[in-house]
Structure 1
Amino acid sequence: MLRQAISRLEQADALDGASDKIQAAVTTVVRPRRLRDLLHGTWLGHPLHPVLVQVPVGAFMSAAVLDLLPERLVPGTQKAATALIAAGTAGVAPAAIAGWVDWSDLTKDRRRVGLVHAVTNAIAVGLYAGSLVARLRGRQQQGKVLAFAGLSVAGAGAYLGGHLSYAQGAGISHAATEVSRLPEEWTEVSSLASLPEGKPAVRRAGEVPVLLYRQGDRVTALIERCSHEAGPLGEGDVVGSGSDACVVCPWHGSTFRLADGLVVHGPAANDQPVLPVRVREGSVEVRRP
């Protein structure tokens, strides 16, 4: 029944009206490219949101453990739990902001799940905020009840977040799965002479499209499908030149350095996989790393 409910949620186009308006608002508010790159985690090499989430999650879980300990047997647990809930509540804002920016670049089906994920977490934070107020007013029992209610709701939100990432592929590298499909042995993909100088070219290693970039006798090879949403990098524009040349994904604008696959601009947060390359007797060969 739970899986059926999630499936219906993915198809709930009634959420699209609100989703589209929120997406437009997030895009308008968080417009500077450097800020979006910061919040996507482009500089980190993987999404920032899951990292920031550890602060409130860790604080709330620790507070729950302390709330279960009798104060008469372990003095100081109530004050410590209150401090942890305050820290967790404060840590929600940066995690939520990064999450909304990631969410704004998702497809409609994933935005539907992400929207409910966000609303569920907002309810959980509201319960924790109420718990904090109750504790500060000396109503410890009420504070505990609200905190455990918040933890339960947050658990539901975490389930939706896990589904979003692991079942729907939000935030994962869509290029990484292509690596496992490459031949393990060295495989010829092109002649060196047929590759244009300083421009990317698409060739195939088995069934996997590979993006080759030649500088003199040196050739680098990247998975051609963008790590963000598997867009065709071979159809993207090239900016810069030489070792600083980058390819821009035509779908969402993620930018990768051709020399080493480094992600320069998001929404991608993962580098583009680089493949081993060798040139033998005028032939360019690649293999699985």
Structure 2
Amino acid sequence: MRELLTRIERASRLDRLGDSVQRRVMSIMRARRLRDALHGVWLGHPLHPALVQVPVGAWTSVAVLDLLRGQRRAATVLTGVGVAGAVPAAITGLNDWASLSREQRRVGLVHAVANQIALVLYAGSFAARLTGRHGAGRGLAYLGFAAASGGAYLGGHLAYKQAAGVNQAVPQLHRISDGWHPVADLTSLPEDQLVSRIIDDVRVLVYRDGDDITVMLERCAHQNGPLSEGSLTRIEGRACVVCPWHGSTFELTNGEAVHGPAATDQQLLRSRVVDGMVQAQLP
């Protein structure tokens, strides 16, 4: 399996199709509010893995019910629930996929194809059950379950091996030692500007607004973009930093994700000023 997944990651032949699909997805989902909602910015957590629980749970239950007697009606209902739930899960997944790196998109494309095959098979199973052909419905459902399981495996590879959709900045916290660390002389920090400093070889972003100081991890939660090279903006009067790579936007006072593709907040460090020296420590 490792060799197969490595081949998919390196399959540049998938890029032509992947790039075309990416352009189509971005053209359809032009509205930023729509993309943010589908990313799960409002939830503070990627929305796609949460929605996936509906079809996965329903179809897994169908696989069990189909082995039992007298459960045709329940199996039919859950097959339909899974088909209905797979649609929003697929839409949010495509939205997330369009903002991934090229290697991630290759695996994500195969992941999506496997899930679409599963959806078609389960839709056929649902139709067969409704017309009384329960034997055919069971057969199609088990084929769909195999396809969905393969898709789930690829989804796990995306998350756990390729770090798609996870907060990629947080691991840097583990490189910062305990205790308070000097960051900068307060008088040396210009107001309303982004300043980069280093704590234990970890780069942090420092922002000053009068006496209020923000110290956050400098690498973007989405794809490790350099926030210190980003731009400042104000959204509803709140100072925010915009990542220069993919446009993820975070409020500087609390690290809250305001715009995606990042769905999780940017990690802040605790900060204080002692004798004119800005200090920071782990949250």
User: Common fold, TM-score beyond 0.5?
Assistant: yes
Q: Which residue of 2 aligns with 1:4?
A: 3
More moved, 215-224 vs 31-40 = 215-224
Q: Give 1:3's aligned amino acid.
A: R
Instruction: State the identity as a percent.
Output: 53
Q: How far, CA to CA, are the matches of 1:204 and 1:21 in structure 2?
A: 40
- Counterpart-to-counterpart distance in 1, 2:4 and 2:82: 30
Shift of residue 243, structure 1, vs aligned partner? 6.7
Matched, 1:53 2:56: no
TM-score computed with the length of structure 1 as normaliser: 0.96
Give the match for residue 74 of structure 1. none
Q: What residue number does 1:275 align with?
A: 269
Change (3 A) 1:96 1:8: same
* Residue in 1 that maps onto 2:42: 43
Measured in 2, the distance between the counterparts of 1:81 and 1:162 equals: 27
Q: Counterparts of 1:66 and 1:241 in 2: how far apart (Å)? A: 51
* Cα distance in 1 for residues equivalent to 2:252 and 2:177: 22
**Tell me, which stretches of 5 or more residues in structure 1 are unaligned?**
72-76
- C-alpha separation between the residues in 1 aligned to 2:3 and 2:192? 50
The one of 96, 100, 116 equivalent to 1:122 is 116
Alpha-carbon distance change, 53 to 274 in structure 1, aligned in 2, over 3 angstroms: same
- 1:241 Cα offset (Å): 8.2
Corresponding residue SS for 2:123: helix
What per-residue deviation string (whole Å, max 9, x for no partner) do you get for residues 214-250 of structure 1? 1222211110100000000000010128971101000
Are 1:219 and 2:218 counterparts?
Answer: no
Q: Secondary structure at the match of 2:175?
A: coil
Aligned to 2:227: 233
Residue 94 of structure 2 is matched in structure 1 by: 100
Contact (CA 8 Å) 1:190, 1:284: kept in 2 or not?
Answer: yes
5+ residue gaps, structure 2: none
Q: Deviations over 1:75-107 (max 9, x none)?
A: xx1101100001110111111010001000111
Contact 1:238–1:247 under 8 Å retained in 2: yes
Give, in angstroms, the shift of residue 133 of structure 1. 1.3
Question: Which residue does 1:78 correspond to in 2?
Answer: 72
* 2:248 corresponding residue in structure 1: 254
Q: Distance in 2 between matches of 1:49 and 1:242?
A: 28
- RMSD over aligned CA atoms reads 1.2
Give the stretch that moved more between structures: 27-36 or 236-245: 236-245
* Residues 17 and 84 of structure 1: CA distance in aligned 2, closer, same or farther (over 3 Å): same
Distance 1:178 1:239, change over 3 A: same
Residue by residue over 1:29-87, the C-alpha shift from the partner in whole angstroms, topping out at 9 and shown as x without a partner, is 0110000000011111111100111111111111112111122xxxxx11011000011
Q: Cα 1:111–1:51, aligned 2, differ >3 Å: closer, same or farther? A: same
Is 2:152 the counterpart of 1:158? yes
Give the conservation status (yes or no) of the 8 Å contact 1:132–1:143. Answer: yes
The one-letter amino acid of 1:30's match is M
Runs of 4+ in 1 over 4 A off after TM superposition: none
